[in-house]
Amino acid sequence: MRISFFPLTIFCLVILSCKDNFSETEVPLDHYKLEAGFELEVVAAEPLLKAPVAMDFDAKGRIWVAQMPGYMSDMQGSEEDEPIGSIRILEDLDEDGIADHSKIFMDSIVMPRALAHVYGGLLYAVPPNLWFVEIEDDKPVNKVLVDSIYAVEGNPEHQPNALELNIDNWIYNAKSNFRYRRHKGKWLKEPTTFRGQWGMTHDNFGRLYYNDNSRILLGDYVLPNTLINNAYFTPKASVDKLLTTDQRVYPVHATSVNRGYAKGVLNADSILVNATAACSPLVYRGGSFPKDYAENVFVCIPEGNLIKRTLLNFKGDSVIAKHAWENREFLTSTDEGFRPVSLKNGPDGSMYVVDMHRGMIGHHAYLSPYLKEKTKTTRIDTIVDFGRILKIKHQNDKTTLITDFNTLSANELVSLLTHKNGYIRDRAQHYLIYKELTQVTNEVKDLAINSKDRLGQLHALYVLEGWSALSFDILTNVMENAHTDVAAHALVLSKKYVSAEYIDSAVAIFKTIGSRKNITLDVYLGNALGPWMGLEEDKFKPIFLEVLKRRQDNATVTEALLSGLTNIDSLMYANIMAIGELRESEFAHKLGKSLENKRNGKLNAIYTRKTINEDNRTSGAKMFYQICASCHGANGQGIEGLAPPLMGSEHVENVERLALIILHGLEGPVHVKGEEYNLNLAMPGLIRNENITDKDIADIISYVSNAFSDEPKSLRRKRIGELREIKSKTGMEFTEEELKALDE
């Protein structure tokens, strides 16, 4: 069989035109430095794009982009709620390999933040909703609401995102504890471990990786959702792990960072020392970079105008990360507009970079006075009408692209399950499932059982899972004969087949796997045994205890064993307490704690959390703009004749005094930094407003302290309740003298 290929038809920048000849605008890359042996290309830029934040490829290899121009278009984020976002399709109409057209797929939406081509349509997030639409002639049709509480309205830095389709056929999200899939026409939503902040990726095995602002790389040691079967146990040693303690970054110039005044943030040359806005890691799986780049993780460091390369070391029960170099990065730039916010493996094996190309990328609720003042000089807040997609390829790469996934036959898709490019394998798996191409079931079974290509076997197993065409016989065959990684997945999948019919077969294969004493297999064997013990404890308990005794000091294995116990946890605790060598083990301690949680009805938080609550500084910012900004100014500089400045005010730095002022009010004269403000006006307190709660006051204090002082502070709600009872001499507004007297 022969599959058609053609050179990759994607994209640089041109000005939109209806003429046959397109005028292309070049974006210079003189200020960018890339690792030797690689090439950097601009594949799309303004005016085709404006503030892109996420991208994906369709069946033809075209780039689809979610654009968020409302995010920090000014220092106050004043367009954040405006319907000016869009999802666009980039096209190459003159077929020169450069994008020359930007087609609107969906317009007039508020802050779209994620998209994924799945199930023949587009899954996309526009807070608070997660939507799915089918596509006809590049237009949305048959819109379906997948989740009405996907992302609560609030700070876009803290809303779910990513929509990462993993090998297990589930779609995972950063800043979320839910996963999604469509099965037999119905959308499913399940709890999962809470992970990361912005962006998510997976390796060839199916482990997930993510990060947050100050931690460059986090990840799971184990496959997702394997350690949460016991609802009263929360795994901590094997999920959401910091993979490297090294948070150093190496920008090539002094960048503008939010807390640059704080000790240790900048070095003597005013260059950023550690990451402060790390996001969007990507496990490179493209197959076109040199071999030592396979499954490296690339991380966006937008505040440093760079992309970092990190190496992974797989230990079977853990993953360790180490940065590729000291004192240099994979890609750096002196262009302070370069803001890499997302990375993608491409159909051609290249790595694609979503460059938001915006000066201010920190949300206004978090901006420090230091950065606000610095911005007056740098004027980076004026970088707003830009946006780019970059492509990184190896200079020796000659890879070509598959024509159109929609035109490939079922047999052609099966052959692509062993492709060197992980993106191609993922797509082939997904197309076989959602198109229900079950006429090649025998071919897929043969690949799952007999192939020597372990990655192809993994994808074949999950094609069968997606078709509901697996069997326990197939899984036992794989467990016995396949590579360790494939056998581990077979163990995970076998938990769906727990029944009396398979007890003898399960005992036999589990004994075989246990005899190998392989650390990876012990993790997943230990996890699989619990449900079987619920059927026939006496037959499976010896295998369970063998694994436990062998790995009782291994936190990942013990968590895997424990998480598999549900209905027989009390019985197993009694058994463990009767074994002297295990009575004081960490497993016994964790199992006892799990039983205590069960008695008290204390569930793993993922089973009780429905949405992610808005953070307090964002809530405080909203209330500040509604209540306070009309007098004090949006930037805290005060308004002549109305109110004194808050920026740098001693009354802001003393948060208890600030709480008293907000609660009870203040009458003049007032001094700020030695200057007197006698406005013959009194600021009214909020205490008489029954709709303003102690939490509201605390949120306002968190925002004001962060926005207008160099030492952000907060105040507990309990203390605010106590301060409500402290009155001025008149019972009305405080005077400055009275407030100072309370400090003494």
pLDDT of 1 over the 60 cut: no
Which residue is it, tokens 């970054």?
249
Which residue is it, tokens 């997945």?
489
Which residue is it, tokens 């079931």?
441
Considering only 183-192, 328-337, 436-445, 688-697, which range has the smallest mean pLDDT? 688-697
Question: Which tens digit of pLDDT belongs to each residue from 499-522?
Answer: 999 999 999 999 999 999 999 999
pLDDT bracket for residue 364 (50, 70, 90): confident
pLDDT of 613 over the 80 cut: no
Considering only 260-264, 302-306, 453-457, 562-566, which range has the smallest mean pLDDT? 260-264
Cα 602 to its chain centre, rounded Å, is: 27
What pLDDT was estimated at residue 15? 35
- Taking only Cα atoms into account, the Rg of the chain, rounded to an integer number of angstroms, comes to 28
Question: Which tens digit of pLDDT belongs to each residue from 449-493?
Answer: 999 999 999 999 999 999 999 999 999 999 999 999 999 999 999
Instruction: Give the best-scoring range by mean pLDDT among 36-45, 96-105, 623-632.
Output: 36-45
Q: Which helix (H) or strand (E) holds 193?
A: strand 186-195
Question: Quick one: which of 93, 98, 104 has its CA closest to 49?
Answer: 104
User: How far apart (Å, rounded) are the C-alpha atoms in residues 568 and 544?
Assistant: 13
Tokens encoding 66: 């979610």
> What's at 718, amino acid-wise?
K
> What's at 35, amino acid-wise?
E
pLDDT of 6 over the 80 cut: no
pLDDT of 149 over the 60 cut: yes
User: How far apart (Å, rounded) are the C-alpha atoms in residues 55 and 113?
Assistant: 10
DSSP letter assigned to residue 627: I
Report CA dihedral (599, 604, 606, 610) to the nearest 10 degrees. Answer: 30
State the pairing for strand pair 306-314/331-333. antiparallel
Mean pLDDT of the chain: 90
User: How far apart (Å, rounded) are the C-alpha atoms in residues 12 and 48?
Assistant: 10
CA distances from 632 to 621, 626, 684, 704 (A): 13, 11, 13, 11
DSSP of 332-393, one letter per residue? EES-TT--EEEEEE-TTS-EEEEE---S--S-GGG--HHHHHHHHHH-GGG--S--EEEEEE
3-state helix, strand and coil shares in percent for the chain, rounded to the nearest 5: 35, 25, 45
State the pairing for strand pair 734-735/665-667. parallel
Asked whether the beta carbons of 89 and 69 are under 8 A apart, the reply is no
Tally of helices (H runs) and strands (E runs) in the chain: 21, 33
CA distances from 519 to 301, 332, 515, 557 (A): 34, 39, 11, 8
Question: Which tens digit of pLDDT belongs to each residue from 161-174?
Answer: 999 999 999 999 99
Considering only 9-18, 49-58, 131-140, 560-569, which range has the smallest mean pLDDT? 9-18
Partners of 52 in beta bridges: 67
Asked whether the beta carbons of 192 and 177 are under 8 A apart, the reply is yes
User: How far apart (Å, rounded) are the C-alpha atoms in residues 336 and 175?
Assistant: 27
pLDDT of 328 over the 80 cut: yes
Residue spans of alpha helices (H) in 241-352? none
Which class for 414: exposed (0-12), middle (13-18), buried (19 or more C-beta within 10 A)?
buried
Cα 243 to its chain centre, rounded Å, is: 15
pLDDT of 397 over the 50 cut: yes
Contact residues for 504 (Cβ-Cβ < 8 A; gap 6+): none
Query: Averaged over 91-105, what is the pLDDT?
Result: 85
User: How far apart (Å, rounded) are the C-alpha atoms in residues 172 and 178?
Assistant: 7
Considering only 131-135, 320-324, 650-654, which range has the smallest mean pLDDT? 650-654
pLDDT bracket for residue 681 (50, 70, 90): low
pLDDT of 203 over the 90 cut: yes
Q: Is 41 helix (H, G, I), strand (E, B) or coil?
A: strand
Question: Which tens digit of pLDDT belongs to each residue from 576-607?
Answer: 888 888 989 999 999 999 999 999 999 998 99
Q: Other CB atoms closer than 10 Å to residue 223's CB: what's the count?
A: 22
pLDDT bracket for residue 10 (50, 70, 90): very low
State the pairing for strand pair 215-219/208-212. antiparallel
Considering only 222-226, 343-347, 394-398, which range has the smallest mean pLDDT? 394-398
Query: Averaged over 93-113, what is the pLDDT?
Result: 89
pLDDT of 16 over the 80 cut: no
Cis peptide before 156 (omega within 30 of 0): no
What pLDDT was estimated at residue 25? 62
What pLDDT was estimated at residue 653? 87
What pLDDT was estimated at residue 13? 34
Q: Is 440 helix (H, G, I), strand (E, B) or coil?
A: helix
Question: Which tens digit of pLDDT belongs to each residue from 527-561?
Answer: 999 999 989 999 999 999 999 999 999 999 999 99
For residues 1 and 26, the model is more confident at: 26
DSSP of 449-465, one letter per residue? HH-S-HHHHHHHHHHHH
Question: Which tens digit of pLDDT belongs to each residue from 281-292?
Answer: 999 999 999 999
Contact residues for 397 (Cβ-Cβ < 8 A; gap 6+): 288, 289, 349, 350
What does the angle CA 514 – CA 519 – CA 523 come to, to the nearest 5 degrees? 75
pLDDT of 679 over the 80 cut: no
User: How far apart (Å, rounded) are the C-alpha atoms in residues 304 and 124?
Assistant: 29
pLDDT bracket for residue 667 (50, 70, 90): confident
Query: Averaged over 292-316, what is the pLDDT?
Result: 98
- As a whole number of angstroms, the longest Cα–Cα distance in the chain is 91
The pair phi, psi for residue 661, each rounded to 5°, is: -65, -45
Considering only 242-251, 301-310, 409-418, 575-584, which range has the smallest mean pLDDT? 575-584
